[in-house]
Amino acid sequence: MRTLVIGDVHSGLRAVEQVLDRAAVTADDHIVFLGDYVDSWSDAFETIAYLIQLNTTHNCTFIRGNHDELCLDWLVEGKDNPTWLLHGGAATKASYEKRERAAWESHIHFLQEELVNNWVDNNNNLYLHAGFTNLKGIEHEYFEKTFYWDRTLWELAQALNPELSVEDARFPKRLTHYNEIFIGHTPISKTGLAVPKNGANVWNVDTGAAFMGALTIMDVATKEYWQSDPVHTLYPSEKGRN
């Protein structure tokens, strides 16, 4: 069984279908989605519907992203957050408003009940959307929103001297609790194609699907990865978040 991790989707259902096909994903694989299922392309409703169905046939773990929480706030409370609308929410809102309110209910349940803030596998690999700040690890994090809003974890991983080993006293303590850490949230590139990037023991799998990049799925053990076509080419009449 493979554990496969997928970066930020941002309503790019066509890209999701491509990477699952290109990676030859089967029901024996465990698929870990790193969050941000909505906000960018026009298939927000269709993407969530697809993921709900996929969860009935495949072993999936769905991590919560910041855009998922913003979308849920609107679905439940009708909050027209101006920042959300500017950053992909307008496309999501338009996608849902094409459907009857009753059709939203299973999606609300999915976003409320099926998404988790983080997950640790049997090899002590940590999966979360953004990051955490507590030196003792995720169990001691003070603010839940940090898991899907933080950017300092990736900044730290990129800034760290690559010659510094985990045994060195100067190695950041919050990174020592996990074998490897897999995140999305911060696009590696917004202007073109990118591949998963490693810093310290952190892997960023957000290759800019909301912008001009591709969607990526990666084998956690081997680091082999597969990518969709640039997502904007799959939605040629749309701007996404560009």
232: phi then psi, degrees, rounded to nearest 5: -65, -25
Residues 210 and 41: their CA atoms lie apart, in Å, by: 7
Half-sphere exposure of 106 (CA within 13 A, CB side): 13
Asked whether 149 and 132 are in contact (CB, 8 A), the reply is no
- In 10 A of CB 221, how many CB atoms? 12
Please give the chain's pLDDT, 242 residues, in tens: 899 999 999 999 999 999 999 999 999 999 999 999 999 999 999 999 999 999 999 999 999 999 999 999 999 999 889 999 999 999 999 999 999 999 999 999 999 999 999 999 999 999 999 999 999 999 999 999 999 999 999 999 999 998 888 888 889 999 999 999 999 999 999 999 999 999 999 999 999 999 999 999 999 999 999 999 999 999 999 999 99
DSSP character for 87? I
Residues 11 and 138: their CA atoms lie apart, in Å, by: 28
- Domains of the chain, by residue range, sit at 3-234
pLDDT, tens digit, 9 for 90 and up, residues 32-65: 999 999 999 999 999 999 999 999 999 999 999 9
Token output for 63: 């991590």
DSSP bridge partners of 61? 32
Asked whether 232 and 210 are in contact (CB, 8 A), the reply is no
Written as one letter, the residue type at 18 is Q
Token output for 124: 């002590």
Q: Which of 226, 241, 207 is nearest to 87 (CA)?
A: 241
Neighbouring residues of 227: CB distance < 8 A, sequence distance ≥ 6: 19, 22, 193, 195, 207, 214, 215, 216, 217
Cα separation values, 162 from 126, 186, 233, Å = 20, 20, 36
Q: Which of 87, 51, 83 is nearest to 185 (CA)?
A: 87
Neighbouring residues of 102: CB distance < 8 A, sequence distance ≥ 6: none
The CATH superfamily assigned to 3-234 is Metallo-dependent phosphatases (3.60.21.10)
